[in-house]
Amino acid sequence: MRYKKILITGGAGFIGSNFIRHVMQGAGIFKGTIVNLDKLTYSGNRANLRDLEDDRRYTFVKGDICDEKLVARLMKGCDLVINFAAESHVDRSIQDPSAFIRTNIVGTQVLLDAARKYKIKRFIQISTDEVYGSVARGYSDEESPLKPNSPYAASKAAADLLVRAYFATYKMPVIITRSSNNFGPYQYPEKVIPLFITNAIQDQKLPVYADGSNVRDWIFVGDNCSAVLFAALHGEAGGVYNIGGGTELKNIELTRMILKILKKPERLIAFVSDRPGHDKRYALDSYKLYKLGWRPAEGGFRHKLEMTVGWYKENQAWWHRLRLKKQKFW
Ligand SMILES: NC(=O)c1ccc[n+]([C@@H]2O[C@H](COP(=O)([O-])OP(=O)(O)OC[C@H]3O[C@@H](n4cnc5c(N)ncnc54)[C@H](O)[C@@H]3O)[C@@H](O)[C@H]2O)c1
């Protein structure tokens, strides 16, 4: 690992916490230090990394990426910054976009300005396939136009354009990764896979939008983490890298798979009215990252989904505590 001091933002969330674990416990001993800056919004959970808190290589700082002074203080001396921090739930962005604009756009600008000031060696912006909008046929590659349809996707696309502009204008060594839908341990149970697993375990209904024919491409979070690290180590400045899982599924197919793994009946499925502006299909062309040499870990989607279901079965205290807080989503 050529980086010595890494600033991770949003590292108490789902993907960020998996990423920190991936770097600190992964193959090849990481000898540098990681600072995790996280505001601990409803989806941030310090317990995700509790076991690493005594590790001298790791420091947690509670704070906001929009806080210029704090960001500048933390970024000093860093050589790599990875921005996972975001408001990330599409349904919440439809209810109220304001926090999405603030964190996802203004927060990214604050980070970029500090990274520029301190001449950070690599700045990785974690983006999403949703910036390309719905794709009826074929696949989105990195040159495809950005056509976001939800306030969430629009805020992520705006951040991507800012990052691009800082490369063009200031020659900053930035990289953007755009992954498809992630699943795995520590995902806040409002998102479809953990929501359906935890509902099914409790014999509650699984609310499927419309007729369940919307298609998503799924990637195991560990594979996304290895791809982000790979892009940080081998990607070129100014580069955009799609990270697809190569598993396209209709939502209803995914729902049936989860029920089957848990040996629960299909009568738990409840079709509900569609999300406004619901994108029909996302599909990524990830050839660019493959060409650079990245590959996902062994084992297919079904195996990784079974592992994920197993994790939620074994870690019920983790999600029961989160689900005590009443949400519209459960
Ligand atoms: N989950 C997915 O399927 C997926 C797919 C593609 C891209 N992404 C992107 O990956 C990133 C991480 O997503 P996730 O699923 O882990 O989300 P998450 O909601 O689980 O985690 C987001 C984290 O950011 C923190 N945060 C929010 N606002 C902050 C602020 N102003 N300052 C500091 N910290 C703040 C939260 O406390 C939380 O810990 C996001 O940028 C998201 O857009 C996610």
Per-residue pLDDT, 29: 85
pLDDT digits (tens, 9 = 90+) for 12-55: 999 999 999 999 998 778 999 999 999 999 999 999 999 999 99
Q: How confident is the model at residue 330 (pLDDT cuts 50, 70, 90)?
A: low
Q: What's the one-letter identity of residue 222?
A: G
pLDDT tens track for 283-320:
999 999 999 999 999 999 999 999 999 999 999 999 99
Q: Would you state the pLDDT for residue 286?
A: 97
Mean pLDDT of 74-84: 97
Q: How far is the CA of 291 from the centre of ligand 1 (A)?
A: 28
Residue 195: burial class (beta carbons within 10 Å; 0-12, 13-18, 19+): buried
Does ligand 1 lie within 6 Å of residue 85's CB atom? yes
Q: Given the structure tokens 């081998």, which residue do they identify? A: 234
The CB of 305 under 6 Å from ligand 1? The reply is no
Determine the distance separating the centroid of ligand 1 and the alpha carbon of 53, expressed in angstroms. 20
Q: Over the stretch 169-185, which tens digit does the pLDDT of each residue have?
A: 999 999 999 999 999 99
* pLDDT (average), residues 267-280: 93
Is pLDDT of 329 > 70? no
Q: Residue 159: CB within 6 Å of ligand 1?
A: no
Residue pLDDT, tens place only, 187-246: 999 999 999 999 999 999 999 999 999 999 999 999 999 999 999 999 999 999 999 999
Query: How far is Cα 35 from Cα 76, in angstroms, rounded to an integer?
Result: 11
The helix (H) or strand (E) run that includes residue 221 is helix 221-234
- State the CATH architecture for 5-182+219-243: 3-Layer(aba) Sandwich (3.40)
Question: Does the Cβ of 41 fall within 6 Å of ligand 1?
Answer: yes
**326 C-alpha to ligand 1 centroid (Å):** 21
Q: pLDDT value at position 26?
A: 84
- State if residue 216 touches ligand 1 by the CB under 6 angstroms criterion: no
Tell whether ligand 1 has an atom less than 6 A from the beta carbon of residue 178. Answer: no
Ligand 1 atom nearest to CA at 15: 16
* Residue with CA nearest ligand 1 atom 21: 13
**How close is the Cα of 27 to the center of ligand 1, in Å?**
25
Mutate-to-test residue for ligand 1 from 18, 81, 88, 156, highest number of ligand atoms within 8 A of CB: 88
| Residues classed as catalytic | 129-130, 152
**Rg of the chain on CA atoms, in Å:** 19
pLDDT at site 123: 98
Amino acid symbol at 260: K
What is the distance in A from the centroid of ligand 1 to the CA of 10? 6
Element of type H or E holding 9: strand 5-9
**Is 218's C-beta closer than 6 angstroms to any atom of ligand 1?**
no
Bridge partner residues of 129 (DSSP):
none
Nearest CA to 179 out of 269, 39, 289, 72 is that of 289
Residue 328 has pLDDT above 90, yes or no: no
* 23-37, 107-121, 247-261, 310-324: segment of lowest average pLDDT: 23-37
Looking at residue 18, what is its pLDDT?
Answer: 98
The 3-state DSSP class for residue 37 equals strand
How high is the mean pLDDT of the chain?
Answer: 96
| CATH 3.90.25.10 is held by the domain 185-216+247-279+300-322 | yes
Q: Are the CB atoms for 241 and 206 separated by under 8 Å?
A: no
Would you list the domain boundaries of the chain?
5-182+219-243, 185-216+247-279+300-322
